[in-house]
Amino acid sequence: MAACTSRLAKNEEVVIYGSLLSIYETSDGVGSCNNVVKRNPEAIKSYKEISISTGKEHGAFYTPDSTWLIPLKIWLKRNIK
C-alpha cells in the first residue's frame, strides 16, 4: 500500500517477485507500481493494482478504512491457500 515511490520506481536494482497487490491513493505522490512490475514481469506470479480516492493523500493508510481493507481481504482470500 502506497509503496511504489518515485525513488523505488527509478531504482533499477529493485525487482518485485511473487504475487503483488498494489493499492495507492490518487491524491498521494506515491503512485502506481506499473513501472516497477514492467521491469521484470516474469518474476510476477500475479499482479493487481487498485487506486482509491479518499483525498487523504498518504494518510489514507494511517488507519484501517474499508476503502482499502475490503479489496485487500478479497485479494487475500483469492491468493492465500
Averaged pLDDT for residues 54-73: 94
pLDDT tens-place string over residues 16-51: 899 999 999 999 888 899 989 988 899 999 999 999
**Range with lowest mean pLDDT among 6-10, 15-19, 26-30, 74-78:** 6-10
Q: How confident is the model at residue 81 (pLDDT cuts 50, 70, 90)?
A: low
Q: Where are the domains of the chain?
A: 6-79
3-state secondary structure the chain: CCCCCHHHHHCCCCCCCEEEEEEEECCCCCCCCHHHHHHCHHHEEEEEEEEECCCCHHHHHCCCCHHHHHHHHHHHHHHCC
pTM, rounded to two decimals: 0.86
